[in-house]
Structure 1
Amino acid sequence: MTDKQSKHDKAHDLAEQAVDKAVSGDQDQAKKLAEQAKRMDPSAVEEVSKEIEQERKDAEKHSREG
């Protein structure tokens, strides 16, 4: 794994942690983690955002089917 890839992975993990904190109600920590992830690798934050949107669409589709 290259340094660039590991930095991307770390930023991705931080972005996911930010989402988890936001969901649990810890907005201050969520913001800090998201900002840290953005500084590290903005593309990782965008990637997490797209993953969440896709999961939302999939869940919405399944709820209409079932």
Structure 2
Amino acid sequence: MAEDKHDKAHDLAEEALDDMVSGDRKKGEKKLDEARGIDPKAVDELGREVEEDRKSAKKHRDDKQK
């Protein structure tokens, strides 16, 4: 049951980011708040994943420029 809540919150947080990137910040913030209400740790986890992806992309881009 806890894993289901975690997964649901994580998926909802991903949708929130997609909405924000697409320009619908208000909708994204609403989904993010909902995800935090379900499982704040899942939202934090997604934040870490996004940061890791950002660093990986930057490293890849920097490597290609050498």
Q: Deviations along 1:4-36, whole A, 9 cap, x unmatched?
A: 000000000000000000000001100110000
Q: Tell me the residue number matched to 2:12.
A: 14
Offset at 1:56?
A: 0.2
Any residues of structure 2 matched to 1:26-65 within 5 Å, and which? 26-65=24-63
How many aligned positions are there? 64
RMSD over aligned Cα, in angstroms?
0.3
Structure-1 separation of matches of 2:29 and 2:55: 24
Gapped runs of 5+ residues in structure 1? none
**SS across alignment from 1:34:** helix
Q: Are residue 5 (structure 1) and residue 3 (structure 2) matched?
A: yes
